[in-house]
Structure 1
Amino acid sequence: MQNVTLVGIDLGKHSFHLHGQDKAGKAVFRRKVSRKQLVEFFATFHACTVVMEACAGAHWLARKLGEYGHCVKLISPQFVRPFVKSNKNDFVDAEAICEAASRPSMRFVTPKNESQQILSALHRVRQALVRDRVRTTNQMHGFLLEFGISLPVGHGVVKRLPVVLAEHQLPPRLIAILERLHDHFKYLTTQISDIEKELERQLAEDALGQRLLTIPGVGSITASLLASELGDGKQYRCSRDFAAAVGLVPRQYSTSGKSNLLGISKRGDKNIRHLLVQCARAFMLHLDKQTGCMADWVRAMLARRHSNVVACALANKLARIAWAISSRNTVFERRTAVTVA
């Protein structure tokens, strides 16, 4: 098997399916191994290119195989699917991964390091807790509304729920249910606050995160998420590629030589796109206090376009700035417009 140059791995929880092929693309071997056997196999195998889908466990395995001298590449599963031939099974998936990796125009995912994975895990936990808190708040609002009590929208009113219960005559069993939900709400709020403090501590030790904080409107949550997903930014050819990967560029539907641009594509990581749009809205909310070329550009856009369109356009600009800061090792510099006499 010394002529093997490319090995595709179909990842699983306990078993892994390998497909090896030579430089000409001819299949050399197929093998099913366990997790332990997989590590032992590549520890003694000659250096080659190993390709797998970017899914659960792929980043850890990429770092592990990289220690043995292999060139590891990760492919998004959506780009592998068109190369699956006929009926689907694990060996066919491994072969499709090799076929997709052989395409000269294929785009790959950069493996994350440990710190990036930990930051990503913290963000996913925080996101789940925020969803649970919103769900709990909506339950309390709904139960009170069924008994004729309408509260304003927001977490501030829920925090003073004991005062609301004291002002109205409600069944004791309902009060017990609401108090249980209120305790759960306070627990979730405490957990979210602790995670945000942990993110800020990790961000303080990250040089890239500190540089991303110099972008107007970008806070600690967005900066830490961008630092965990962007890395050095070398996986993107230019700033527009990163904005397109996040889904902040117009969706194109062109035919017969006619160019037709629609709304934003909404591809890629929904959480990054959501946070960048919120950063743009925060910048626009305090636009009267902002100075520089970016503020002047936003004012000019607001004079002729809707604020939602301007928010998406500004989020696109923020994504491009974030890529430039990460790839060029710079910080954001506020520039004032030059008036020509």
Structure 2
Amino acid sequence: MNATTVGVDLAKNVFVACVADGVGRVVETREFNRAGFLAWLPTLPHGTIVAMEACGGAHCWGRTMQALGLEPRLMAAEFVRPYRKRQAVKNDRADAAAIVAALLAPGMRFIPVKTEAQQQRLAWHSLRLGWIEERTALLNRIRGLLAEFGMVVDTGALRLRRKLAEHEFDTAQPAPIRHLIQGVRDQFDALDLRIAECDRQIAAQQADDAAARRARELPGVGMLTADAVVASVGDATMFHNGRQFAAWLGLTPSQYSSGGKPKLGRITRRGDDYLRTLLVQGARSVLAAALRKARNTPEALTRLQQWIVTLNGRIGYHKTLVAIANKHARQLWAVLAKGEGYNPEAWHQWHDSVEQPAS
């Protein structure tokens, strides 16, 4: 077979592959089951480009293709969708053909194939997030059930735990209610143990990674953020600069420019929701610290904190959070791409060089 490019629509059991020639014309479309697709890949010529959407299992298939001497290309589904010939018709064959068309489009951006180690690290983050969501759902569910029996609990996990402890040993409550409360407490404890185990694993893998340790030196970047960013990004040099990295995380405003008149809108919120959330949470702590210092000891504010306080007064709390998160993303890129430790004076040095008039 003299294929040069192949577009594959991945699924759990049915795989559709569109084989294209040197000019991008689809010359063959084939359908496989999982075993058949795995057996077909070694028959492709060495160096064949195989394009896929970055969906579940795509990185695993990408590693398999790399081991066979093929060149996998992963693309975001949102970049492939416009190349479907008939938007109202969606099927596996149309999707595979759209993947080929998107692959050959100029300026297409690709997603690097994650290593198995990267995915193992991120699995702990995914599990932790799932356990926290399950614990929150349990908290809301039991609060509603207790309200049916006249036991109103204020919001907050700690308040609910205290209330459960009070009613568990309240003999005035019917035995079935006390039994229900005991079951809820046991489930809370089990979820806490699972979350704590995830925290231990994440802390261990973050401590063993030099890049993650450097990232954690930044203000507003804790254990979770440092480990998740390093595991998700891998090679930070694939981004040309910090702004591109911040845009990849969805922390830059959308543009609606026409006729030479730039107009910026709300942030795009594209990219990894989890990483963006962690960076915004870190920005929240940095902003709170700056505002607290501005109230108590304003003379001790650093230049960066002065900028934060001024920005908060000018554009408001939530926009300031995004601006801080954007700055943290750029700083993270510099630390990871250049392999250097965090230098808190770098921002001052750059700012001073900009302010100095040209001689």
State the identity %: 33
- Answer whether contact 1:21 1:28 (CA < 8 A) is retained: yes
1:230 aligns to 2:233 (yes or no): yes
- Answer whether contact 1:252 1:261 (CA < 8 A) is retained: yes
Match of 1:326 in 2: 336
Match of 1:316 in 2: 326
Q: 1:324 to 1:168 in 2, by over 3 A?
A: farther
Displacement of 1:260 in angstroms is 2.7
Match of 2:185 in 1: 182
**Counterpart residue identity of residue 317, structure 1:** K
CA distance in 2, matches of 1:301, 1:264: 17
- Answer whether contact 2:119 2:231 (CA < 8 A) is retained: yes
CA distance in 1, matches of 2:133, 2:171: 29
**Counterpart residue identity of residue 305, structure 2:** A
Structure 2 residue aligned with 1:159, among 158, 161, 179?
161
CA offsets 1:58-115 (integer angstroms, 9 cap, x no match): 1011111112222211011111111112343322221111110001111111110011
**Counterpart residue identity of residue 178, structure 2:** I
**Counterpart residue identity of residue 328, structure 1:** K
Structure 1 range deviating more: 214-223 or 261-270: 261-270
Match of 2:152 in 1: 150
Give the unaligned 5+ runs of structure 1.
Answer: none
Structure 2 residue aligned with 1:295, among 305, 309, 313?
305
- Answer whether contact 1:292 1:334 (CA < 8 A) is retained: no
1:251 aligns to 2:254 (yes or no): yes
CA distance in 2, matches of 1:53, 1:192: 31
**Counterpart residue identity of residue 85, structure 2:** K
Q: Tell me how large the CA RMSD over aligned residues is.
A: 2.4
Structure 1 range deviating more: 174-183 or 67-76: 174-183
- Answer whether contact 2:167 2:173 (CA < 8 A) is retained: no
CA distance in 2, matches of 1:252, 1:169: 63
Displacement of 1:165 in angstroms is 4.4
**Counterpart residue identity of residue 329, structure 1:** G
Give the unaligned 5+ runs of structure 2.
Answer: none
Match of 2:32 in 1: 33
Structure 1 range deviating more: 313-322 or 21-30: 21-30
- Answer whether contact 2:128 2:198 (CA < 8 A) is retained: yes
Displacement of 1:309 in angstroms is 1.7
Displacement of 1:167 in angstroms is 5.7
1:199 aligns to 2:195 (yes or no): no
1:15 aligns to 2:14 (yes or no): yes
CA distance in 2, matches of 1:116, 1:82: 30
Displacement of 1:329 in angstroms is 1.6
Displacement of 1:295 in angstroms is 2.6
Displacement of 1:293 in angstroms is 4.4
**Counterpart residue identity of residue 283, structure 1:** V
Displacement of 1:229 in angstroms is 1.3
- Answer whether contact 1:158 1:182 (CA < 8 A) is retained: no
CA distance in 2, matches of 1:259, 1:24: 37
1:93 aligns to 2:95 (yes or no): yes
TM-score, normalised with respect to structure 2? 0.87
Match of 2:211 in 1: 208
Match of 1:43 in 2: 42
1:54 aligns to 2:41 (yes or no): no
Match of 2:140 in 1: 138
TM-score, normalised with respect to structure 1? 0.91
The DSSP-based 3-state class of the residue aligned with 1:317 is: helix
CA distance in 2, matches of 1:202, 1:50: 32
Structure 1 range deviating more: 79-88 or 34-43: 34-43
The DSSP-based 3-state class of the residue aligned with 2:27 is: strand
Equivalences, count: 340
CA offsets 1:28-87 (integer angstroms, 9 cap, x no match): 322222333333333242121111111111101111111222221101111111111234
- Answer whether contact 1:292 1:337 (CA < 8 A) is retained: no
The DSSP-based 3-state class of the residue aligned with 1:29 is: strand
**Counterpart residue identity of residue 8, structure 1:** G
CA distance in 2, matches of 1:257, 1:169: 74
**Counterpart residue identity of residue 230, structure 1:** V
Match of 1:64 in 2: 64
Match of 2:116 in 1: 114
Displacement of 1:250 in angstroms is 1.5
- Answer whether contact 1:231 1:326 (CA < 8 A) is retained: no
